[in-house]
């Protein structure tokens, strides 16, 4: 029996995948995993089971579930603590909602969510440690309270857990995909259909490890599903709303690149140059001025819904587009009205 260990779709958890032996006698799932994974503590395994983060043959199981022969097991655990230390920094945070258990933050484009890859300062997590020193005081945990994330140059809503119980409950919701999330994106061109679904496995690009690639045949990567609908057309661009069945890294960016409609000003996926429109110098200057209004790609996590981890209440939050994004749309409306 082999054990595969991979990053989860949001990069915040390790994904373990293994299969029981053909001659496996019935055994509690927690004991089974302790035997198979000696480097993972029984306490962590039991916490994962209680949080609904262990599945056998794609079904969530309880800690006392007894595994049998030739069954497939998968579960998630938080990444181990790192050797780097994390320092609090005074960073302004836009708090949309807060109580004793959760925070909802509207992250601006340009702000990294958590440290990593040689970048250990100036992140959202550094700011959280400054404003909530009594909650986020473990300097070796680089991702305190995080259950999901969005790209550096994507703006929008994030929920953050303020205690271990909330972290476990929210992690379960994201794991089971019961949260509600919508994104607004401005893409080059006009998709063939106003309402459609993009499907295709997403994995690391075979040549450029900084971007993701769509593998239509499913030979690599993980399954990814993006539903979109048209909100507004701008002649050479289209504003779309996206809902995700999955949350793969760069999912929206990679999927729209794959169907020939990269996001406006998306440098890594080819959207930072003129892909539709005229050759007139005036138009070129207009588009370049539009690029300058954005920190990065035109993508905003506009709404977020989840069940409160303590009260069970269904919470839903929505935020306006950032000023630069909103100004860009206004300018395109004026341009289209004058030229179409």
Helix (H) or strand (E) holding 282: helix 281-292
3-class SS of residue 258:
helix
**What's the rounded Cα separation, in Å, for the pair 184 and 238?**
10
Alpha helices in 109-263 (DSSP H): 124-131, 164-176, 251-258
Q: Name the residue among 218, 191, 187 with its Cα closest to residue 202.
A: 218
Catalytic residue from among 7, 35, 92, 151: 151
**What's the rounded Cα separation, in Å, for the pair 8 and 237?**
33
Give residues with Cβ within 8 angstroms of 323, minimum separation 6: none
The partner residues of 317 in beta bridges, in order of sequence, read: 304
Contact (CB, 8 A) for 135 and 145 = yes
Here the tokens at position 297 are 């790609």
Active site residue 151: yes
Looking at the annotation, which residues are catalytic?
151
């Amino acid at each position: 029996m082999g054990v595969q260990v991979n990053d989860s779709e949001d990069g915040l958890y390790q994904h373990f995948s293994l299969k029981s032996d053909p001659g496996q006698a019935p055994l509690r799932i927690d004991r089974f995993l302790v035997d198979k994974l000696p480097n993972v503590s029984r306490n962590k395994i039991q916490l994962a089971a209680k949080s609904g983060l262990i599945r056998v043959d794609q079904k969530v199981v309880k800690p006392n579930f007894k595994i049998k022969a030739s069954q497939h097991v998968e579960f998630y655990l938080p990444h181990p603590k790192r050797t780097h230390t994390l320092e609090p920094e005074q960073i302004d945070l836009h708090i949309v909602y807060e109580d004793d258990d959760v925070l909802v933050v509207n992250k601006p484009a340009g702000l990294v969510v958590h440290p990593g890859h040689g970048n250990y300062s100036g992140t959202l997590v550094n700011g959280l440690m400054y404003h909530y020193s009594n909650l986020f005081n473990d300097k070796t945990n680089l991702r305190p309270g995080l259950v999901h994330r969005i790209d550096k140059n994507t703006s929008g809503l994030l929920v953050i857990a303020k205690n271990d119980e909330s972290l476990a409950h929210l992690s379960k919701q994201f794991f089971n995909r019961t949260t509600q999330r919508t994104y607004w994106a401005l893409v080059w061109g006009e998709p063939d259909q106003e309402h459609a679904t993009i499907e295709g496995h997403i994995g690391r690009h075979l040549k450029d490890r900084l971007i993701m690639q769509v593998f239509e045949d499913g030979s690599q990567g993980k399954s990814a599903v993006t539903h979109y609908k048209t909100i507004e057309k701008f002649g050479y661009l289209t504003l779309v709303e996206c809902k995700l069945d999955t949350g793969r890294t760069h999912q929206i960016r990679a999927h729209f690149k794959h169907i020939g409609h990269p996001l406006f000003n998306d440098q890594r996926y080819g959207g930072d140059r003129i892909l539709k429109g005229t050759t007139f110098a005036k138009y070129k200057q207009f588009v370049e001025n539009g690029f300058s209004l954005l920190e990065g790609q035109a993508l905003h996590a506009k709404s977020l819904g989840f069940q409160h981890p303590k009260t069970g209440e269904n919470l839903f939050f929505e935020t306006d587009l950032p000023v630069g994004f909103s100004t860009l749309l206004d300018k395109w409306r004026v341009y289209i009205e004058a030229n179409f």
